[in-house]
Homo-oligomer: A and B are copies of this chain.
Amino acid sequence: MHSNGYKPYYAVIFSSLRLSGDNAGYEETAEQMLRLAEKQPGFLGFESVRDRHGAGISVSYWQDKKSIKNWKNQADHLFAQKKGRTLWYKHYKIRIALVEDEYEYIKNDDLT
């Protein structure tokens, strides 16, 4: 299921519902935060999907809990979190989870 070099890592699952309205500044801040997260120690990756109804799931991946805590408390990120609660999100839930196993499927285009 995974290579012998596999080491457990953490996922931060962020499920959210955006407020309707113009959500001024949201896209710009989201982009800035992603660029900033990528520079943090322990950052491993990021995936994000949002649909046209404003529902979104983003998952960021981190080496350990310490790197998640550092990112949570990073000053610019704290400011963005506050703006998120004030201006952009109707609801969100964050789960911190230890990835114990993973497997992947990639379609072989050569055969289609």
Contacts and interface: CB of A to CB of B under 8 A. Distances in A.
Give this chain's copy count. 2
Contact of A95 (B90, B99, B105): B99
Interface residues of A, number: 36
Contact of A105 (B47, B85, B98): B85
Interface in A59-100: 59, 85, 89-100
Contacts of A102: 93-96
Contacts of A97: 10-11, 97-100
Contact of A98 (B47, B91, B93, B100): B100
A48 B53 CA distance: 12
Q: Which 8 A-B pairs have the closest CB atoms?
A: A97-B97, A57-B57, A96-B101, A93-B104, A97-B99, A95-B102, A98-B98, A49-B49
